[in-house]
């Protein structure tokens, strides 16, 4: 495959074979995956063969090998022209995303004498790891269905948060058209005891400090100031979302041939968006998305209560955004308004200024787009960006630093005990559930977040607003 460098942060893969559109990769030379070790570029090519795909098969600066789609992949299919929906374009952790809170009146110096107490409180209040345990013990299937339909809205209505939280959530805290009847009993059983839990892998809760403001006007609109203490939470739909993906991939594998669909990789199993199986998946996916929204809402409220108890200060929600989702959106394509199914897998929606879906308090401020939350690897900086006008890739950008080492390889690089000592020497308090879980997420396993943000800005995907440095981390 030949990569054509179109600009400093944009590469093109020309159409060949059964590709219906070209591939577009937003990256620097240093961020491109190694073809011998990472098949993400081939996955960009494979995605370009999907029926109904429009414009291009896109990959973000943090791209790496995933299931079917690359992680960091974006693809939009035209609903009216037989466009398909593919669970591989969403992933197993449906609506995995990031939530950011800012302390109302607390800086690092004020927090310092209380940091250990805060971290102990957060460690106790944050169920995590592979096992069961959650903030909220659901009464049964009926209450779970309320979560699957209502998401953060239902959690807030039950006393887990405040009304303003919903104003700063993507989709107001709940995706419409959720259909719990399309969620299998096995998925239900996995979800009953995990809502309000962090999980394991790359999921985390971090206490951070704003250590650089890159756009003061937008930062002010978001409620961020230099030196301010923040809390970032990264998690998703847990076992329920994983099971939903597995269930619907199997269904689509069985029926693709009936729709005359052939794909180069079975992990790209798909059906037309408007086919019964497509509608069923989107309904189940929306239900899992709402579960993930409620999950982050519960964890955030637990963190808020720890801060109020220990520091006397509250936490205001900056934003909550997903980076594993397929959404039906309307976009301009070749001069026409088209209804598209936009898959974002390890990619974040980044709406431009004045977009109707922005929070009400932001939509009228010129030059202020949607808050975009980009976590770095453990022990490195995270970033807040803003959506910009005329962004490519259907108003999408990256979602994190992007993995370069498998978890198996990462544990050969460093031991968890040594990594904890290193992080604490950097002034980062660590509360981990296991030594292996820490080692798997060592910073050496990820791309350089500074290079990723530079590429995102250079490619015109989004603009940096503030940098956040970790001072405490809770890990599964």
d(CA 267, CA 251): 12
d(CA 270, CA 278): 8
d(CA 286, CA 295): 14
The DSSP call for residue 34 is P
70-109 in b/e form (b: 16+ CB < 10 A) is: bbbbbbbbbbeebbbbbbbbbbbbbbbbbbbbbbbebebe
Instruction: Kindly list the distances between the CA atom of residue 263 and the CA atoms of 21, 77, 267, in Å, as whole numbers in the listed order.
Output: 15, 15, 9
Strand pairing partners for 204?
234, 475
361-375 in b/e form (b: 16+ CB < 10 A) is: ebbeeeebbbbbbbb
DSSP secondary structure of 92-119: SSTT-EEEEEEEEEEEHHHHGGGHHHHH
Active site residue 399: yes
Instruction: Kindly list the distances between the CA atom of residue 394 and the CA atoms of 40, 227, 269, 462, in Å, as whole numbers in the listed order.
Output: 20, 34, 23, 12
Which residue's entry shows tokens 């599964």?
A: 476
Report how many helices (DSSP H) and strands (DSSP E) the chain contains, helices first. Answer: 15, 19
d(CA 76, CA 50): 10
Candidates 29, 248, 399, 408; catalytic one: 399
Residues with catalytic roles? 399
């Amino acid at each position: 495959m030949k990569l054509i460098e179109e600009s400093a942060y944009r590469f093109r893969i020309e159409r060949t074979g059964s590709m219906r559109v070209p591939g577009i990769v937003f990256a620097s030379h240093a961020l491109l995956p190694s073809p011998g070790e990472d098949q993400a570029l081939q996955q960009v090519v494979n995605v370009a063969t999907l029926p109904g795909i429009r414009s291009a098969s896109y990959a973000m600066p943090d791209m790496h090998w995933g299931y079917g789609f690359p992680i960091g992949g974006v693809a939009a299919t035209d609903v009216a022209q037989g466009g398909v929906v593919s669970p591989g374009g969403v992933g197993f952790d449906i609506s995995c995303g990031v939530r950011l809170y800012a302390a109302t009146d607390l800086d690092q110096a004020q927090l310092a004498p209380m940091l250990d107490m805060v971290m102990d409180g957060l460690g106790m209040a944050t169920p995590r790891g592979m096992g069961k345990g959650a903030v909220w013990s659901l009464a049964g299937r009926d209450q779970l269905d309320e979560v699957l339909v209502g998401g953060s809205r239902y959690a807030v209505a039950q006393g887990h948060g405040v009304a303003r939280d919903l104003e700063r959530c993507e989709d107001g805290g709940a995706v419409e058209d959720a259909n719990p009847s399309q969620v299998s009993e096995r998925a239900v059983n996995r979800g009953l005891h995990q809502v309000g839990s962090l999980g394991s892998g790359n999921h985390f809760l971090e206490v951070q400090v704003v250590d650089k403001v890159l756009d003061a006007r937008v930062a002010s609109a978001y409620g961020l100031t230099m030196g301010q203490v923040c809390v970032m939470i990264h998690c998703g739909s847990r076992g329920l979302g994983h099971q939903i993906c597995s269930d619907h991939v199997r269904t689509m594998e069985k029926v693709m041939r009936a729709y005359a669909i052939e794909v180069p990789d079975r992990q790209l199993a798909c059906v037309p968006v408007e086919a019964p199986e497509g509608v069923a998946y989107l309904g189940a996916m929306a239900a899992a998305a709402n579960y993930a929204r409620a999950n982050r809402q519960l964890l955030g409220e637990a963190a808020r209560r720890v801060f109020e108890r220990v520091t006397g200060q509250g936490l205001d929600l900056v934003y909550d955004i997903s980076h594993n989702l397929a959404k039906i959106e309307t976009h301009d394509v070749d001069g026409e308004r088209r209804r598209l199914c936009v898959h974002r897998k390890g990619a974040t929606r980044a709406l431009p200024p004045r977009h109707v879906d922005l929070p009400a308090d932001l939509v009228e401020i010129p030059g202020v787009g949607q808050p975009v939350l980009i976590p770095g690897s453990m022990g490195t900086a995270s970033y807040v960006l803003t959506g910009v006008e005329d962004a490519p890739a259907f108003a999408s950008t990256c979602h994190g630093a992007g993995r370069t080492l498998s978890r198996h390889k990462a544990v050969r690089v460093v031991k968890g005990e040594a990594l904890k000592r290193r992080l604490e020497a950097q002034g980062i308090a660590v509360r981990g559930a296991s030594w292996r879980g820490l080692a798997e997420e060592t910073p050496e396993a990820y791309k350089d977040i500074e290079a990723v943000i530079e590429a995102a800005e250079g490619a015109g995907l989004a603009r940096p607003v503030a940098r956040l440095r970790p001072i405490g981390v809770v890990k599964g």
